[in-house]
Every structure is written in structure tokens, then in C-alpha cells.
Amino acid sequence: MSTHLDISKVSIEFPTAKGSFKALDNVSLKIEKGEFVSLIGHSGCGKSTVLNIVAGLYDATEGGILLDEKEVKGPGPERAVVFQNHSLLPWLTSYQNVELAVKQVFKKTKSKKEMHEWIMHNLELVHMTHAADKRPDEISGGMKQRVGIARALAMEPSVLLMDEPFGALDALTRAHLQDSLMEIQKDLNNTVIMITHDVDEAVLLSDRIVMMTNGPEATIGEILKVDLERPRDRLALANDPKYVDYRAQVLTFLYEKQRKVEPISAVKAKKTTDTKTAASA
Amino acid sequence: MNIPSLSIASLKERVESFSLKSLLLPLFGILAFVLLWQVGASRVHTSLGEFPGPSVVYEQWNSLVAEHHNERVKEDKFYERQEKRIEARQAKDPSYEGKLRAYTGKPTFFDQIFTSLYTVLAGFGLASLIAIPLGILIGLNSSVYSALNPIIQVFKPVSPLAWLPLVTMVVSASYVSDDPMFSKSFLTSMFTVTLCCMWPTLINTAVGVAAVEKDLLNVSKVLRLNWMTHVTKIVIPSAIPLMFTGLRLSLGIAWMVLIAAEMLAQNPGLGKFVWDEFQNGSSNSLGRIMVAVLMIGFIGFLLDRAMLTIQRFVSWDKTQVLR
């Protein structure tokens, strides 16, 4: 299969008061069509920055993004984003929120009736037709995120970008939405990049898990291919040795190789050796 | 939705506490104020007699109403007499075309209220027409903001009284017409109001527009909304609460500025009424001025309520508590 999305040697520097800060260094990743890739790493490791660069919301300082061998410049609906906190327009109903996207993308290609059917079809996919005429403040957090997903899907993106889409939800709602997402994914087979900090979520949903090192100058540490049969069932997988092994590999990367916080005893030991060397010098 | 779950008793309780809070307590406040006013007023002596208490004010109110009626009757009779005279002449000479002369009687208190009201609305309307689009532009574009900010900051605190002579001179020099659509005094008052009251709307609109949530801006970017859709679907709805804060402040300022401008420039309106009564210096004057003071306050309050009603109508968030 040919490369669908090519993240090629991307680095980014942000100007700060103390000079420039290099958040990402030389990130390269090739993604195939229909692949579900998760980016996982500790907070502050720049995984959201990668997503924002692919979305076109940030410009890479070095390197760039190729989508179907064309360079990506600026944001666009072919790289739809599901934002962490839904980002629905609070003054529009669920229907109108999806409609705004559909009108923007299919203004020239679909008739009014087709657009209406397409909006309803996408709300149907996320099981939200019953709340089509409700505004975001009238529905629950999980439902808002469903509408957010419907809006992104309705753009028929070549790549669907999800920025910790279930991060702000409680565990049960999250599981529910993950199942819904797998169901949708089975039919549509979208190319997806998802940011997450939830190990189970990453293993359950992904074809590949991209693990990132800690910043500054964060980059890709390891890539884990998840070779589990689809459709995946969270209950059956819980005791599957392969699943447990994948999970352990990600955990090992996050908590041994890329430990974010050193244990207090280690910090103390380091301090005493420091003072000793200082005294002897 | 949850009304059925409420018991009848608790519903009743809610209605009762509502009427207590919204009717009884304000009524109590007003009564206490009137009492204090009556007691206090009788102790203040001026060269025009006692400071007017509530009862004197009530008398003067009645006399102002009566004067208004008398004036209307006089006006009707004036036109009747003219028409009769014209008819009589036309009976003798069919080629005669009569011309009705306008009544030139003194404007009553209520005429002055009406003049002030439409002047303030015209001035405020013009100010909003300038301030809202300009505020949106400033809020969207930080370069425009940087360019205009010093000018706004300098003109914002200028008192209406400082503008008035300049506006008067400019209007009388530039608005020269044999058959003017508006009187010069109206234009002077209106432009002064506009110049003084546009700033809160301008600044609040700009702040509201600049404070649109970053996530929503990202949505707009990902959707590649064009400028017009971006402004109407995302920027304006999210700036509406602050925009209305500005509009309400502006309308309040407009009303205060107008009264001052009318007093100083002797332009028709409530301000002129107050000034004329002050110059008149009769034993009734202070009472009449007090009627005007209360009326100015009451109209200011009604204007603010009207703005609030419009805000409720325009705002997307109907659950928002507006006060």
C-alpha cells in the first residue's frame, strides 16, 4: 500500500521570552490509508503539537506534511479535527453545527435535500438524531462529543484527527464512545490519527501506537504494531495474552523508559552526591 | 421539564416568595424613600421656598398634565379658526388657496419629553451604527486596534459640554438649507450625544470580538469559513453579551449627556424645561424641576429595560440571567 499521509522530518520551534523553544525534533511517520494510529506520551510531550501541524493550525519550522503526495498548507476540512472539548458552537443546535460543516464542504456538489440527508445520516452514525434540535448546553458531555465526531465525519475527511477526543469524559461514557467509534470505523474505514494518554484506549482502537519521548525536542520513541483481530471486544480482550502484552509494552515505555517524574528517593540521592562533589571540589 | 416533579405546595411557595421579592420588597423601599423625602424636604429652605416634597411634586405633576391638555385644546382651536377663515375666503374667491400656519405655542412638559426621546434615540442609533461595525473591525484586527486605540482613549473621557460649542458651530456652518429637514438644535444635540455615547459600545464590542474562544476560531479555520460566515456565525454570536453591555452603558450615557446638552445649548427637550423653570424662579419652579428629575430617571430606567428586552430577544442563551 502506498503512503497516504507522510509526516516528514517535522521540527517546530516556538519563540518565547527566553529565546526559541524547540518542542518537536525530527518527527517522521508514514500512515497508510484506512490506518488507525494513536499518539501516546506524557503531557507536554508535543503530541497535540504534531496533530496541530497535520491539521495546519501550526506551521512546522522544518519538514512538512504530505497528503497523497501533495504538501499541506494551512487548515482544511479534508483534515477534520475532533477537538478535546467538543468545540461545538453553543448558539447552534446539533443539526446546525453539522450543517455548518456540510454547507461549507458540499455547497457545490450536493443539493439541499442531499445535504439534509447527509447531515441526518451522520447524526445517525453517532446515534444523535434524537437530539438534532438541541443546543450543546442541553445535552451531556458524551453527547456533545458525539456531535463533534458527527461534524468531523460529515466533512468526509481524508484524515480524521482526534485530539484526546474522550479525555474529558467519565470512564463509562468513554467506553461507550470507543465502541461507537470502532463500529463507525468498521464501516467507513477512515484514516485516523488519535491523541490519547489512555493506554487501554490506544491498544483497543489502534492499528499502530506511536509512543513519543518527553519534551523538549520530543520525537517518536517507539512504534508498536497492534495485531489484534477486528472487531475487537473489550471484555474478551481483557484476558487475551497478546492484548496484555501490548499493554505492558506501552506501559513499560511510558513509565520506565520515559519516566516523567523521578521517585523522591532518587532525587534525594542525586542531591547528596551533588553536594558531596561540590564540597570535595 | 421538571415541573411535574414539583409538588403543588412547593410551587405555591415559590410563587409566594417570588411576589414577596419582586413586589413587596421594592414597594417597601419606595415607601421608605418617600417618607424620608417628605421629612427631609420640609427642613430645607431656599429663596424659592421649601424644597419640594412628594406632595408638592404630585401637585405640580397634575398642573403640568393640565397645562398640556389646555395647550392641546388651544392648538385645536387655533387650527379650527384658521380653517374657518380659509373656507370663508374660498367661498368668496374660489381661486384662493389657503395656507395653514403652524401653531407656535410654547411646548409643554410632555412635548419636551417627546423631543428628548427621539433626539436620544437618533443619537444613540447613529452611535451604534458607527460603533458596532468599527468595534468588530478593531476586535478582529490587532493592527487596526493599535492604530485606533490612542484616539479612542483620548476621546472617550471628553465631557459633552466640551464638544457642544464645536458641534454647534460646525452644524450651523455646514447645514445650510432653506427648507431644513431637521432643525439645527436637533442636529447639535444628536451629534453631541453620538460623540459622547459611542465609546462603551465600541470598546465592549472590540473586547467581545477579540475574546472569542480559541477552539471556536480553530473550528472556523478547519472549516475554512469565509470572512462573512466567520463573522456572522462565530464572532458576533459570541460577542453579543459584551456588545449589549456596551450598548446599555452607551444608552445610559446618551440620556445623561442629552439632558446636559439641552440645558447648556437651550435646545428643546427636558434639559431646556429644567433650565427654563430655574430661570423662571417662581414658587412652583422647584416642584416642577423635581417632576422633571423623576421623569428623567424613570425614562432612563425604561430605556435600559427596553435594551434588556432586546438583548433577551437577540441572545442565544435564554437561560442566562440578565440584570
Please name every residue paired with A196 in a beta bridge, in sequence order, or none if there are none: A40
Q: Do B225 and A104 touch (CB under 8 A)?
A: yes
**pLDDT computed for residue B61 by the predictor:** 92
Return the pLDDT at B2: 45
At residue A264 the predicted structure's pLDDT band, cuts being 50, 70 and 90, is: low
B10-67 pLDDT, tens digit per residue, is 666 666 666 777 788 889 999 999 999 999 888 888 887 888 889 889 999 999 999 9
As its CATH architecture, domain A3-80+157-280 has 3-Layer(aba) Sandwich (3.40)
Distance from CA of A92 to the nearest CA of B (A): 8
Cα distance between residue A1 and residue B216, in whole Å:
36
Q: Is the pLDDT score of A89 beyond 70?
A: yes
Q: What's the pLDDT tens digit per position in A189-238?
A: 889 999 998 899 999 999 999 999 887 888 888 899 998 888 888 888 88
Test the A interface: residue of B221, B223, B228, B236 with most A CBs within 10 Å? B223
The reply to whether residue B221 touches residue A57, judged by beta carbons under 8 angstroms, is yes
User: If you average pLDDT over residues B183-206, what whole number do you get?
Assistant: 92
ipTM: 0.83
Average pLDDT over residues A27-43: 91
Q: List pLDDT tens digits, range A238-256.
A: 889 999 999 999 999 988 8
Pairing of strands A191-196, A36-40: parallel
Across the interface, do B237 and A101 touch by the CB < 8 Å criterion? no
Rounded distance, CA A21 to CA A130, Å?
47
Inter-residue contact B270 to B88 (CB < 8 Å): no
Q: What is the pLDDT of residue B305?
A: 93
Average pLDDT, whole number, for chain B? 87
Give the H/E segment covering residue A159: strand A159-163
Q: How far is B222 from chain A (nearest CA, A)?
A: 5
- Residue of chain A whose alpha carbon sits nearest to that of B236: A91
Model pLDDT, residue B3: 47
Work out the average pLDDT over A116-131.
Answer: 90
- Which cell numbers hold the place of B296? 428623567
Q: Are strands A62-67 and A70-71 parallel, antiparallel or unpaired?
A: antiparallel
What pLDDT score was predicted for residue B119?
A: 94
Mapped onto helix, strand or coil, the DSSP state of residue A24 is strand
pLDDT higher at A269 or B78:
B78
Residue of chain A whose Cα is closest to the Cα of B315: A91
Closest CA to B235 of B261, B255, B209, B257: B209
Where do the structural domains in chain A lie, given as residue ranges?
Answer: 3-80+157-280
* Strand ranges across the sheet with A3-16: A19-32, A3-16, A62-67, A70-71
The CA distances from residue B140 to B63, B134, B206, in Å, are 55, 10, 8
Tell me the chain A residues in contact with residue B311 when contact means C-beta distances shorter than 8 Å.
none
Least confident of A145-154, A201-210, A266-275, B147-156: A266-275
Please judge whether B223 and A85 are an interchain contact, meaning their C-beta atoms are less than 8 angstroms apart: no
Residue with cell 421629612: B39
A·B CB contacts under 8 A: 54
Interface touch A75/B234, C-beta < 8 Å: no
Reported confidence tier of residue A273, pLDDT bands at 50, 70, 90: low
Cα–Cα distances in Å, from B243 out to A233, A245, B254? Answer: 51, 57, 16
Chain A hits for B219, CB-CB cut-off 8 Å, are: 83, 87, 89
* pLDDT value at residue A185: 86
Q: Which residue of A has its CA nearest to B239?
A: A91
Kindly provide the b/e burial profile for residues B198-230, where b requires at least 16 CB atoms within 10 angstroms of the residue's own CB. bbbbbbbbbbbbbebeebbbbbbbbbbbeeebb
| Mutual angle of helices A112-125 and A141-154, in 10-degree steps | 140
Please write the tens of the pLDDT for every residue from B251-309: 999 999 999 999 988 888 999 999 999 988 888 888 999 999 999 999 999 999 999 99
Q: Is the pLDDT of residue B9 over 70?
A: no
With CA atoms as reference, the chain B residue closest to A84 would be B215
Residue-level pLDDT at B1: 43
Residue B231's pLDDT is what? 93
Average pLDDT of span A17-38: 89
Question: What confidence score (pLDDT) does residue A206 get?
Answer: 92
Residue A167 pLDDT grade (very low, low, confident, very high; cuts 50, 70, 90)? confident
pLDDT-derived band at A68, boundaries 50, 70, 90 = confident
Closest-CA distance of chain B to residue A76, Å: 5
- Which of B214, B217, B219 has the highest number of chain A CBs within 10 A, making it the mutation to test binding with A? B219
**Confidence category of residue B136, pLDDT binned at 50, 70, 90:** very high
- Percent of the residues in chain B that have a pLDDT greater than 90, as a whole number: 50
Residue B224 contacts A where some CB pair is shorter than 8 Å: yes
Mean pLDDT score, B114-139: 94
Judge: A57–B234 Cβ closer than 8 Å, yes or no: no
CB contact under 8 A, A75 and B219: no
Strands B45-46 and B49-50: antiparallel
Residue of B nearest to A56 (CA): B222
Percent of residues, chain A, with pLDDT higher than 90: 36
Q: Which chain A residues touch B233 with a CB distance below 8 Å?
A: 89, 92, 100
Domain limits of chain B? 52-106, 108-173+182-314
Q: Å from B215 to nearest chain A CA? A: 6
Residue A108 has pLDDT above 60, yes or no: yes
Cα three-residue angle A90-A91-A92, rounded to 5 degrees: 95
Task: Look at residue A127 in the predicted model and tell me its pLDDT.
Answer: 87
B317 lies within 8 A of chain A by CB: yes
What cell does B87 get?
A: 373656507
Check residue A45 and give its pLDDT: 82
Q: What is the CATH number of domain B108-173+182-314?
A: 1.10.3720.10
Measured in angstroms, the CA of A105 and the nearest CA of chain B are apart by: 8
- Look at residue A152 and tell me whether its pLDDT is greater than 60: yes
Share of chain B above pLDDT 70, in %: 93
* C-alpha distance across the termini of chain B, in Å: 25
